[in-house]
A and B are shown apart, each in its own frame.
Chain A
Amino acid sequence: MAEYIVKENALRAFFQALAQERRLLAPVRVGGKLQMAEARPEEVTLDYGNTHQSPKSAFFPQTERLMAFHKDTAQSDPFVYKPLGLDKITPTVLFGLRPCDAQGLAICDQVFQNDRFTDPYWKTKYESSIKIGLACDQPGPACFCTAVGGSPYGEAGLDALAAVKDAGLALKAITEAGAEFLKKLPGLESGAAESELAERRKAVESKMPGPLDQAKVAAGAILDIFNQPHWKDTADRCLNCGTCTFVCPTCHCFDIQDEQNDKGGVRMRNWDTCMSWLYTVHGTGHNPRPTKTERMRQRFLHKLKYIPLKQNGQSGCIGCGRCVTLCPVNIDIREVAKQMNG
């Protein structure tokens, strides 16, 4: 696959070329926080640990209007829901995805399109996008991608991977789509990147945590893990606030809502959270997850048992550390994973 070097003085031109070709999403400051968002070429930074929120909203917005209808009976089609947005997808390039987040998006992709069904709203956005990763040289105190099968130089879910080199970039294509895209990019200079990336990968990985042993979780019966006594202890301090689910790159649950006024209506989906009482309450009033213990347990089982079961052993947690950092009561998925395997 093609390899390139972008020198420091060519960086601006590189980002301009990206933005010229496609809508550019990259790490930029939004309201004081570093976020993966629409960026002007001059705003893009290479100096960050991880974006505050995960990049999932690029393909799975927190509120997404799926379809709409009107109530004008003078027209032929009143009260008929018509899909929104599927016919005008803007081709997008994401630059600066951390490998952990790219892996997270790949996990969501398996949820939104698989052999059983395809979500057109996800598919049209995800598949048409080019994803360029930026390898991670300074993992933070809550980073543990290497513990859950990833790497700060990981390639899963990426079309190309870059690393900062002499304040510029070393860049290599990973997929055909990535190679094709980079080949057409004006002003990009070929140069050896592969060996540098491989070396640096080893160096950074050696500073990071080793694999988290999940052998017993993988082999264990769901019901046995379900009934482990430690859940109650963790639940003691859980506030069920849902922060973990909102910042998680692989949490993908949603709630469908219809809203209307006198002119028409819209059907939308909004991020939902299994930490919420409302998430599971039935029409009868019965709630199969009546307390915060069941709700908190659900999230960890989903990450560490159900997703691995459905996705060939791939951990549903990609080790970005956002939930660890942002949980107001310091519930640490690394500790819970150890207890589950205990």
Chain B
Amino acid sequence: MMSLEEISQKIQASAKRLLAEGRAEVVIGYRRGTTPLTVAPHFARTAEDCDQLVWSSFAKINLATYLPKYPGKVALVAKGCDARSAVGQVVENQVLRENLYIIGVACNGMVDVERILAGEPRPAFEATEDQATIKLSGEGWITSLAREEVLRRNCRVCVSRTPSATADEVIGDQTEPLSADDFADLKELAGRSPADKLAYFKGLVKECLRCYACRNACPLCYCPVCFVDETRPQWLGKSQDEMDTFTFHVLRAFHCAGRCTSCGACETACPMDIKLREFNRVLESEVQKDWQYTPGLTWDQKPPLTTYRPDDEAEFIK
């Protein structure tokens, strides 16, 4: 298997080539972070900047989030989910295809840092990694974790680990798609009473701070003004009122229905570690059931909830 160092070197080489050829003004990737278990998004504009680009198991934020606001030509270092989000943005006319170059990277999943830290209460001052292990060390101790064991939940059911169908080039050994989320747990949820379901979803967001980090980290949330920030009229209260908080999460999830690529950026950004994807998963399963649609896998597929056909089979829409 290609090592993380080899992948990083190939990303750096591609980035330099694309900048030199004028194919991109900036390459958006990752560089080493300032604390253990982190990487920082990195905007490389010069060959020197490119030397800092790395590939890592901590690359959990979705870089496609930066694309809709970026006016020029961009090359994006993309794992499968980032590429799917970028494709979605092109399909939704938020990003020009000709301005986008996707450096696809064969991804083996990203690790769940919150989970690692929850399992290791001692302060870790250093973390090293390869494709199989994460090593943590602190004052007088060192411990090894199998990467497979600490993958994020969404990475365990990833249908596009390598974005081969959409990327302009692919780096690393192709990784096969995993079997998709079977939503088995949602069947049990569907059988519950409406009151029980309401209590379940309200419970999920009980700790919400209304900081909206989930929204800002989401590659789908590109609205110039979010409905929660509208003031004329103000649609939603701003306090920690349970119903206002709940409404924000439900509405955001509905806005993402049929578009969410399960990248997990929302959960990654959430300072309270709320399991935000549980809202999206319900809608994902509905969209797949009704339209057999998985977003972001091809360039020519419109999200089902954004299309209209006069011969639609549903009566209400005619």
B237 touches A257 (CB 8 A): yes
The size of the chain A interface, using a CB distance under 8 A, is 44
Mask, A253-285, CB within 8 Å of B = 1, is 001010100000000101101001110010000
Residues of B4-58 contacting chain A, CB below 8 A: 33-36, 38-43
A259 touches B216 (CB 8 A): no
A276 touches B229 (CB 8 A): yes
B238 touches A270 (CB 8 A): yes
Known pairs A141-B123, A242-B211; A259 contacts B35 (CB<8 A): no
A240 touches B216 (CB 8 A): yes
Known pairs A236-B43, A330-B34, A330-B38; A63 contacts B124 (CB<8 A): no
| Bound Cα distance from A47 to B121, whole angstroms | 9
| Bound Cα distance from A217 to B48, whole angstroms | 28
- Within 8 Å CB of B213, what residues of A? 239, 241-243, 328
| Bound Cα distance from A334 to B225, whole angstroms | 32
- Within 8 Å CB of A124, what residues of B? none
Known pairs A63-B239, A140-B123, A233-B43; A326 contacts B217 (CB<8 A): no
A139 touches B123 (CB 8 A): yes
Known pairs A142-B35, A247-B271, A330-B38; A273 contacts B123 (CB<8 A): no
Kindly name the residue among A141, A142, A246 whose own CB sees the greatest number of chain B CB atoms within 10 A: A141
The yes or no answer to A16 lying at the interface (CB within 8 A) is no
B238 touches A62 (CB 8 A): no
Residue from B42, B237, B269 in contact with A328 in the complex, judged by beta carbons closer than 8 Å: B269
B269 touches A239 (CB 8 A): yes
* Closest Cβ–Cβ distance, residue B31 to chain A (whole Å): 9
The yes or no answer to B78 lying at the interface (CB within 8 A) is no
A259 touches B239 (CB 8 A): yes
- Within 8 Å CB of A141, what residues of B? 35-36, 123-125
Residues of A283-325 contacting chain B, CB below 8 A: 324-325
- Within 8 Å CB of A33, what residues of B? 207, 272-273
- Within 8 Å CB of A273, what residues of B? 211
| Bound Cα distance from A259 to B234, whole angstroms | 11
A326 touches B238 (CB 8 A): no
Mask, B205-225, CB within 8 Å of A = 1, is 011011111001100000001
B35 touches A330 (CB 8 A): yes
Residues of B290-316 contacting chain A, CB below 8 A: none
A329 touches B123 (CB 8 A): no
Mask, B91-124, CB within 8 Å of A = 1, is 0000000000000000000000000001001011
Residues of B256-303 contacting chain A, CB below 8 A: 265, 268-269, 271-273
The yes or no answer to A194 lying at the interface (CB within 8 A) is no
* Closest Cβ–Cβ distance, residue A218 to chain B (whole Å): 24
- Within 8 Å CB of B206, what residues of A? 31
Mask, B229-265, CB within 8 Å of A = 1, is 1010000011111000000000000000000000001
Mask, B164-179, CB within 8 Å of A = 1, is 0000000000000000
B271 touches A243 (CB 8 A): yes
Known pairs A31-B207, A63-B239; A237 contacts B271 (CB<8 A): no
* Closest Cβ–Cβ distance, residue B187 to chain A (whole Å): 26
Kindly name the residue among A141, A273, A330 whose own CB sees the greatest number of chain B CB atoms within 10 A: A330
The yes or no answer to A138 lying at the interface (CB within 8 A) is yes
A334 touches B209 (CB 8 A): no
Closest Cβ neighbor of A292 among chain B residues: B69
Residue from B36, B43, B225 in contact with A277 in the complex, judged by beta carbons closer than 8 Å: B225
The yes or no answer to B87 lying at the interface (CB within 8 A) is no
The yes or no answer to A83 lying at the interface (CB within 8 A) is no
Known pairs A62-B209, A239-B269; A329 contacts B216 (CB<8 A): no
* 24 sampled A-B residue pairs with Cβ under 8 A: A33-B273, A63-B239, A63-B241, A140-B123, A142-B35, A236-B41, A237-B42, A237-B43, A239-B269, A240-B216, A241-B269, A243-B269, A245-B211, A259-B239, A270-B239, A276-B212, A277-B225, A277-B229, A278-B229, A278-B231, A326-B271, A329-B41, A330-B34, A330-B41
Residues of A at the B interface (CB closer than 8 Å) are 31-33, 47, 49, 62-63, 138-142, 233, 236-237, 239-243, 245-247, 255, 257, 259, 268, 270-271, 273, 276-278, 281, 324-326, 328-332, 334-335
Given pairs A141-B36, A242-B212, 19 additional interface contacts (CB within 8 A) = A31-B272, A33-B273, A49-B123, A140-B123, A242-B211, A243-B213, A243-B271, A246-B209, A246-B271, A259-B239, A278-B231, A324-B34, A324-B35, A328-B217, A328-B265, A329-B61, A330-B35, A330-B39, A330-B40
4 closest A-B pairs by CB? A241-B213, A330-B40, A241-B216, A63-B239
